[in-house]
């Protein structure tokens, strides 16, 4: 096994071992990718306050998210097409998460189905849904998630229409990949990936194909989005989804204090401050810059989580110090998966946990709950001084 010291090492291997179409899908933002870039570069603007001669013995990253015990407050984010980064990708990632003691969130746009993941895990996972027009299909998804014993639903509220990712169009992204001279030539260089794919039957959108009616091209994520997603979504409908599900609900994709208050009003159990990894509204603030004002608005009444831009344990610590109760990694675990399957996901989580616990010690904290803004050096104007 190569020596892996950071998420970037896994990313390099992921790029080498996985077809370009799928690597690019993960490593894209929408349009100019400004928000995608700033999600990471804004983390670097925050500095950590070093403390010495503080007892750092007995440190722990253990915490809770929506009342569930977690080994560290870092969940696996829902990522579409994970089973195309590596054969049976969602099953492998869910198993790695379970062994680490962190939540796994299955995307509706996964390759392995809800039932597949439930069959291969023993602890409840979370299931992500989009806001679709078709109540029958939504109800069936909820029913399947209940049968699979999912302990929460993560509703994505920022994707009724899809931000364009240029690379996906250029690569002709689809699952399974369409065979063109270009895609065949590229896949021929990814031998391990190809062997894995030949050995699995899971090569289609497992929650959609055979379940959703009237899908014109079941291999294309963008055409399903255009046909099935509800452009008329409002808060009433989100409240209805909560009622239909009847269990814990996390609303993902909140970037604004007023929206956070609306999420609170519809009874969400948590919100995720997220700009969808910079894949939707290009030009939106980075999540880490949006986080403080949302924590200030609702953080004492509802759990505020965050995603978009986390690539290290130091990033996790910064988000927690700004008031997030939990964080999510998407690309960071997908890099591990594409690099080395389940062992790679485990590695990515181990890297982050080790960075987190080391950094906790160096800022003089022993528990997650003790982290706060006092651990950060926040540049003046970090949140932006915008005209009202
Ligand atoms: C799906 O949610 C995506 O961002 O591709």
Ordered DSSP codes for 18-74: S-HHHHHHHT--STT-HHHHHHHHHHHHSEE----SS--TT----EEETTEEESSSE
For the cut 80, the answer to whether the pLDDT of residue 195 exceeds it is yes
Average pLDDT over residues 212-225: 82
What angle do helix axes 34-45 and 313-321 make, rounded to 10 degrees?
A: 80
Q: How far is the CA of 175 from the centre of ligand 1 (A)?
A: 13
Element (H, E) at 152: strand 152-156
Closest CA to 74 of 324, 270, 273, 337: 324
* Of 84, 221, 330, best ligand 1 pocket probe by most atoms within 8 Å of the beta carbon: 221
**Which strand ranges, in their side-by-side order, compose the sheet holding 126-129?**
74-76, 326-329, 303-306, 270-273, 249-254, 152-156, 126-129, 105-106
* Token pair recorded at residue 249: 């609900």
Stated as kind and residue range, the H or E segment containing 224 is helix 221-228
State the DSSP H helix or E strand holding residue 328, giving kind and residue range, or none if neither.
Answer: strand 326-329
- Protein residue whose Cα sits closest to atom 3 of ligand 1: 80
Does residue 187 have a pLDDT over 80? yes
Tell me, using a 6 A CB cutoff, whether residue 281 lines ligand 1: no
Residue closest by Cα to atom 2 of ligand 1: 80
**Active centre residues (catalytic):** 276
Radius of gyration over every alpha carbon of the chain, rounded to an integer in angstroms: 20
Which tens digit of pLDDT belongs to each residue from 109-166?
A: 999 999 999 999 999 999 999 999 999 999 999 999 999 999 999 999 999 999 999 9
CA dihedral 323, 328, 331, 336 (to 10 degrees): 120
E strand or H helix at 376, and its extent? strand 376-377
Tell me: pLDDT of 219 over 90: no
Judged by DSSP in three states, 79 sits in: coil
Token digits of residue 314: 């130091």
C-beta 202 within 6 A of ligand 1:
no
- What DSSP designation does 212 have? S
Q: Average pLDDT in the 231-245 region?
A: 97
Q: Pick left, alpha or beta for residue 58 (phi over 0 → left; psi -120 to 50 → alpha; otherwise beta).
A: left
Measured by CA distance, the residue closest to atom 1 of ligand 1 is 80
Burial class (CB in 10 A: 0-12, 13-18, 19+), 350: middle
Question: CB of 338 closer than 6 A to ligand 1?
Answer: no
Ligand 1 probe mutation, 82, 106, 224, 276, most atoms within 8 A of CB: 276
Q: Which atom of ligand 1 is nearest to the CA of 280?
A: 4
Residue 278 has pLDDT above 80, yes or no: yes
pLDDT band at 215 (very low <50, low <70, confident <90, very high): confident
Residue 276 near ligand 1, beta carbon < 6 Å: yes
Residue 211 has pLDDT above 90, yes or no: no
Query: For residues 173 and 293, what is the distance between their CA atoms, to the nearest angstrom?
Result: 37
The CA-based dihedral angle spanning residues 328, 334, 335, 337, taken in that order and rounded to the nearest 10 degrees: 130
Give one DSSP letter per residue of 262-311, joined into a string: HHHHTT-SEEEE--GGGTSSTTPPPHHHHHHHHHHHHTTTSEEEE-SS--
Q: With 80 as the cut, is the pLDDT of residue 1 above it?
A: no
What is the atom index within ligand 1 of the atom nearest the CA of 156?
2
Output the residue whose Cα is nearest ligand 1's atom 5: 80
Ligand 1 atom nearest the C-alpha of 276 is 4
- Ligand 1 centre and the CA of 377: distance in Å? 33
- Whether ligand 1 lies within 6 angstroms of the CB of 163 is answered as no
Give the per-residue pLDDT at 221. 78
């Amino acid at each position: 096994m190569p020596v892996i010291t950071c998420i970037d090492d896994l990313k390099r291997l992921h790029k080498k071992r996985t077809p370009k179409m799928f690597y690019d899908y993960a490593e894209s933002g929408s349009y100019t990718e400004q928000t995608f870039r700033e999600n990471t570069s804004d983390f670097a603007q925050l500095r950590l306050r070093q403390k010495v001669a503080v007892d750092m013995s007995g440190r722990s990253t253990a915490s809770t998210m929506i009342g569930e015990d977690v080994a560290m407050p870092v969940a696996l984010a829902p990522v579409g097409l994970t089973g195309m980064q590596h054969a049976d990708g969602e099953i492998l990632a869910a198993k790695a998460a379970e062994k680490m003691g962190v939540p796994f969130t299955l995307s509706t746009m996964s390759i392995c189905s809800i039932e597949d993941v439930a069959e291969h895990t023993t602890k409840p996972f979370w299931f992500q849904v989009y806001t679709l027009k078709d109540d029958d299909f939504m109800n069936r998804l909820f029913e399947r998630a209940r049968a699979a014993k999912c302990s929460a639903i993560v509703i994505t509220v920022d994707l009724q229409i899809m931000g364009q990712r240029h690379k996906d169009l250029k690569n002709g992204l689809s699952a399974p990949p369409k065979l063109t001279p270009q895609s065949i030539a590229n896949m021929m260089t990814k031998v391990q990936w190809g062997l894995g794919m030949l050995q699995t039957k899971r090569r289609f959108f497992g929650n959609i194909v055979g379940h959703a009616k009237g899908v014109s091209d079941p291999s294309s994520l963008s055409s399903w989005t255009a046909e099935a997603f509800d452009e008329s979504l409002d808060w009433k409908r989100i409240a209805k989804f909560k009622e239909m599900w009847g269990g814990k609900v996390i609303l993902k994709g909140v970037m604004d204090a007023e929206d956070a208050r609306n999420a609170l009003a519809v009874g969400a159990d948590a919100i995720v401050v997220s700009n969808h990894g910079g894949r939707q509204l290009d030009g939106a603030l980075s999540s880490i810059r949006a986080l403080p004002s949302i924590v200030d608005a609702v953080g004492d009444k509802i759990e505020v989580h965050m995603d978009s831009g986390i690539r290290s344990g130091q990033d996790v610590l910064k988000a927690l110090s700004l008031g997030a109760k939990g964080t999510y990694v998407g690309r960071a675990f997908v890099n591990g998966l594409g690099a080395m399957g389940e062992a790679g996901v485990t590695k990515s989580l181990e890297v982050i946990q080790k960075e987190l616990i080391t950094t906790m010690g160096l800022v003089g904290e022993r528990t997650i709950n003790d982290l706060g803004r006092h651990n950060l050096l926040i540049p003046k104007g970090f949140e932006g001084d915008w005209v009202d």
